[in-house]
Amino acid sequence: MENGESLLLADPSPDFLGVRGTDEQKQYPCQGLEERSHVCGLTASNVIRAYVGGRPARPKEPEVPEPPRIPRIARHMALAFKFQDMVDCGEVRDYADLARLGYVTRTRITQVMNLLNLTPDIQEEILDLATPIEHSALAERRIRAITKVVLWAPQRRAWANSRDRSTTGA
């Protein structure tokens, strides 16, 4: 080091960023880092963070909006289709096997599978629901009552009545 210059370090380790500096630069070590950042390919903000002893911040991941929540009844309808395919393909022998695999009762599997007894247009409406259904007329308990109706015409009427009740709030 010649002419009153000394080694200016941004970190206590001698090999981090060796830059010669004047006594004035030693007094204000962060001054002029932009010009000296090319030495190790570091940016000034990384050098300053290292100087203060902090870790470089992780780059922020872009905020991705959460996907819309699928209503529970629609998820159960999709499960019913998947379960029926598993039985048809021979992956499981019967609904009792599904219950054992899913750690649920056979009654619960039957309730989910009964959603397949709804008319195709009602099934489609359920799968196309956009918002979660809480305690409305379209809740699963009310839909289970509609699945007990065997004929499609009365089933459609019951579905329409149920939808009407949910929109009027009764």
| Whole-prediction pTM | 0.59
pLDDT score, position 163: 79
Residue 86, classified by CB atoms within 10 Å of its CB into exposed (0-12), middle (13-18) or buried (19+), is middle
Note the pLDDT tens digit of each residue in 72-105.
Answer: 888 999 999 999 999 999 999 999 999 999 999 9
Task: Assign 161 to helix, strand or coil.
Answer: helix
Structure tokens at 92: 């499981």
Rounded CA-CA distance 56/152 in Å is 65
Summarize pLDDT for 13-26 with one digit per residue, the tens.
Answer: 444 444 455 555 55
Q: How confident is the model at residue 9 (pLDDT cuts 50, 70, 90)?
A: very low
Residue ranges of domains in the chain: 6-52, 72-168
